[in-house]
Chains A and B, each alone.
Chain A
Amino acid sequence: MSEAVSIRRRGFIDALPLFVPAFPFGLVIGLAVVESGMNKLVGWSSAPLIFGGAAQLTLISLLGSGAAVAAAITAALVVNARHVMYSAALAPTFQRQPRWFRWLGPYVLIDQLFALVSVRVDDDPDVFRTYYLTAGFTFWALWLITVATGLFVGPIVPVEWNLGFAVPIMFIGLIVIGIGRWPQTIAAIVGAGITYVAAGLPSRTGLLVGALVGVMAGTIAERFKK
């Protein structure tokens, strides 16, 4: 029993430093909810319902900017499509787990948790499960609290500060920090450029065109690399 306690402690302690970068992100999402003018409780519910910062910020900022709802939903879903890779990478490990955990586990499978557990896939299944759940739900609880904090901070910040600009700044950070290889840089530049050219399209659908062409450009660049 004491072993389980020490694994839980380990999962909790490992999660804390990885949450630090997510903290300003959660605050900005809270601010974006306030700026978008949507019901605050509804906006906050994106934390437990989506539990993914980039998709939450994408959806909320686009809904608040008057984009077509379908375009906002599509963009947010596409942003989170990278999770399919995590799912595939952990699938063999999850095969040795009970059914309830195979259903619950994916709910908290965010970037940080994947980074933590991907080096523990050869652990004993019980140890892996305990560690995964502890770290995952530590992130989860901290995230719900942080987004709520952003909701309360938002209204006391003066409008002239234009704090909404923090949203594109966060996206720039996500892009730069997430890029590991130059074809990804091409995907980003082409994605932005085509969206700029297509800015006149109705309901911000230019964003989807830009994203699609950006992915194609990255894929082509990858071919030329070889």
Chain B
Amino acid sequence: MIDLVAIAIVGLGTYFSRALFIVVLANRRIPDPVLVSLQFVAPAVLAALVVALLIDEDGAVAIGIPELAAFAVGGGVAYKTRSHIWTLVAGMTVYWVVRAVL
């Protein structure tokens, strides 16, 4: 139940962020300093998320060699191909192979 409520809240918030200027503030512009900061929101949050997802129950960050290798190769492939599919394939393959070898 709490999951559904959380999803609904994020859904409303997402709609609001998409509708803000189209429905509500049609004649306003975003102030330049805000516009500058907005472009850093996605990279900062997503990078923070990657680390947060690897925190175990005790609050320690559980990143081993397989994870680091997968991130490095996945990141490199993403940079080269700009493709989510190849990033996923390369990252998971490296992760599985390194884990099996170690």
Binding site for B on A (CB under 8 A): 20-25, 28, 38-39, 42-43, 45-46, 49-52, 54-55, 58-59, 61-63, 65-67, 69, 72-73, 75-88, 90-92, 94-95, 102-103, 105-107, 109, 161-163, 165-179, 181, 183-185, 187-192, 194-196, 199-201, 204, 206-208, 210-215, 217-219, 222
Contact = CB atoms under 8 A, between A and B. Distances in A.
Interface in B1-42: 2-4, 6-11, 13-15, 17-23, 25-26, 29-30, 33, 35-42
Contact of B60 (A73, A184, A199): A199
A171 B3 contact: no
25 contacts: A24-B85, A24-B88, A28-B88, A38-B3, A45-B7, A59-B10, A61-B49, A63-B6, A73-B6, A76-B13, A79-B49, A80-B14, A82-B41, A82-B42, A85-B30, A107-B19, A166-B92, A168-B71, A171-B49, A173-B91, A176-B87, A185-B43, A191-B44, A196-B61, A219-B33
B85 to A, nearest CB: 5
Given A106-B18, A106-B23, 8 more contacts: A39-B3, A55-B14, A59-B7, A66-B57, A106-B15, A166-B92, A195-B47, A199-B60
Contacts of B18: 83-84, 86-87, 106-107, 109
Interface of B: 2-4, 6-11, 13-15, 17-23, 25-26, 29-30, 33, 35-55, 57, 59-61, 67, 70-71, 74-75, 78-79, 82-85, 87-88, 91-92, 95-96, 99
Contacts of B17: 77, 80-81, 83-84, 87
Contacts of B57: 66
Contacts, number: 293
B30 A178 contact: no
A88 B74 CA distance: 33
A65 B53 contact: yes
A127 B91 CA distance: 42
A168 B50 contact: yes
B14 A69 contact: no
Contact of A187 (B6, B43, B84): B43
